[in-house]
Amino acid sequence: MAAISTVFAVCLFGGVNSQTPVQVKSLVDNLLSNYDKRIRPVEDQTLPVILDVSFSLISIIGVDEVNEKLETSGYLTIQWTDSLLRWDPASNNGISTIFLPQNDIWKPDIVLGNGFKKFEEFGGSFYNVEVESFGNVFWKPFQVFETQCSIDTTYYPYDREVCEIVFVVWSYTVIEVEIFKSANGINLNEYTESGVWEITRTDVKVSKESVESKVTFSIHIKRKPFYYIFNIMIPILFLGMLTIFVFALPVDAGEKMSYAMTVFLSFAVFLTIINTLLPVSSETTPVLSIYLLMQMTMSILVLFITALQIRLHHRDTSVPISKPFRFMVRLMHYFHCRKSCKTSKTISPAENKDSEYRDNFDSMGETSQEEKNRPEWKDVTSAIDFLAFWSFFLLYLCLTVYLFATIIRGS
C-alpha cells in the first residue's frame, strides 16, 4: 500500500530529475560546439571582461633576507562571467553546475607581476574550472609563488616587513579585461602558522596603471624573535661581559693576552654568522650589526691595552714613571681608600696626639717617605686594570641600553 502511494505521489506532483552522464555530455557538447576560446566571452566585444580576483594563502614557506625573496603557497580564486556558457537548468534536467578542463574555455592571462622566474601559466591541464548556468566561471589555480620583497632589517630580529604579491593581466588592456574588485581579499581560513613569521595584517589594492589592470596583495609580517634572542643576542651580551673581565686577570697570570684574543675571534665569528642572514644592501644597516661592530672595536682596544700592560709590567724599575701614569695610580688609590678614609675621619684624642707625633716625625724624613711611597710599574698596570674595567663596563652598559631602546622604539 505504501509503494502504491509513493508511485501515485510521483505521478501527481512530477518526476524526479536525474542527471545521467549522457545528459551532462549532451549539455557540454552543446555549449562547446560553437565555442572559440580565442574570443573574449562577451556578447558586446567593446565591453571588458570583469574579473574578481581573491587570494587564499596556505603558508609562508620562507623569507630569504639575502636575496629579498618571499616564498608562499596558495591559490587564486578568479571569477568572471562567460556569456557564451549559459543554459537553462530546467531544460537540462536541473543541471546547474558543470566542470570543464581549464584549457577548453577562454581564461584571462593573469601572471605574477613581481616574481623571480619567467612567466608561467597558472594551473595545468588537469585543472578544472567550475561553470554555473548563469555563465559564472570560477578558476582556482594553486601555485608556489616566489615574489620580490624589500627587506628592512634595521631592527633585526624585531623587524616588520611588508611584502607584496602582484598579479597583472598581461596581454589584454584594461579596455578588454579589467580586474574590477577583490571580494574576499586575502583569505586566511586555510593558513598554516609559520614558525618564524607572524602575519599582523593583510591589504588588497586593485589599480589601473596606464593600460594594464592589476591587483596587489600586501602581507604585513613580523619576525618571531625568540630563536634569535637565545642563539644570537644573549651569546653576544655574554661575550661583551667576557671582554670586560680581561681586566680582572692579573698580568702575572700569563693568560691575559690569549684570553683577550679568544674573545675577539668569537666576536668575529658571530659577525660572520649574522652577515650571512642579512641582505646585501647599503640602504639599511641592522642596529645589532652596529652593536656587534662596537663590541669588536672594544675587543680591539682591549687587545691594545693588554699588550701595553704586559709591556709596562716587565719594564725595568730604573725607568722613571711619567706623570700620566702617576695620576692613574693616585686615582686608583683614591677610589680604593675612599671608604676607609671616610671611616678614619672620626678618631679619639689619644689617637690625635699620636698622629701629631707621627706628623712631626714624618716631616723630618719627608724625602725618604716619598721614595718609599714611589709607585712601581706593577702599580701602574694595576691602575690600568682598575680604570679600564670600570670604563669599559660603563661603555658596555650604554651600548646595550642603546641597542634595546632603539629596537623596542622602532618595532
Q: What is the mean pLDDT of each run of 10 residues along the chain (411 residues)?
A: 43 54 89 91 92 95 88 95 92 91 92 86 87 94 93 87 93 91 88 93 89 92 89 86 86 79 84 73 79 86 86 73 74 68 49 48 46 67 84 91 84 66
The domains of the chain are located at 19-224, 227-338+372-410
Cα–Cα nearest to 61, from 157, 197, 163, 190: 197
Cell of 79: 571569477
**Do 108 and 51 form a contact (C-beta atoms < 8 A)?**
yes
For residue 148, the model assigns a pLDDT of 93
For residue 320, the model assigns a pLDDT of 74
Architecture of domain 227-338+372-410: Up-down Bundle (1.20)
∠ CA 335-385-320 to the nearest 5 degrees?
90
For residue 369, the model assigns a pLDDT of 46
Name the one residue in this structure whose C-alpha cell is 601555485: 143
Cα distance between residue 114 and residue 319, in whole Å: 72
CATH 2.60.120.10 is the classification of domain 19-224: no
Cell of 144: 608556489
For residue 236, the model assigns a pLDDT of 85
For residue 403, the model assigns a pLDDT of 87
Cell of 63: 623569507
For residue 342, the model assigns a pLDDT of 52
For residue 18, the model assigns a pLDDT of 65
Name the one residue in this structure whose C-alpha cell is 556558457: 85
Cα distance between residue 8 and residue 3, in whole Å: 9
* pTM, rounded to two decimals: 0.75
Instruction: Please report, as a single letter, which amino acid is at residue 207.
Output: S
Question: What b/e sequence results for 151-165 when a residue is b if at least 16 CB atoms lie within 10 Å of its CB, and e otherwise?
Answer: bbbbbbbbbebebbb
For residue 187, the model assigns a pLDDT of 92
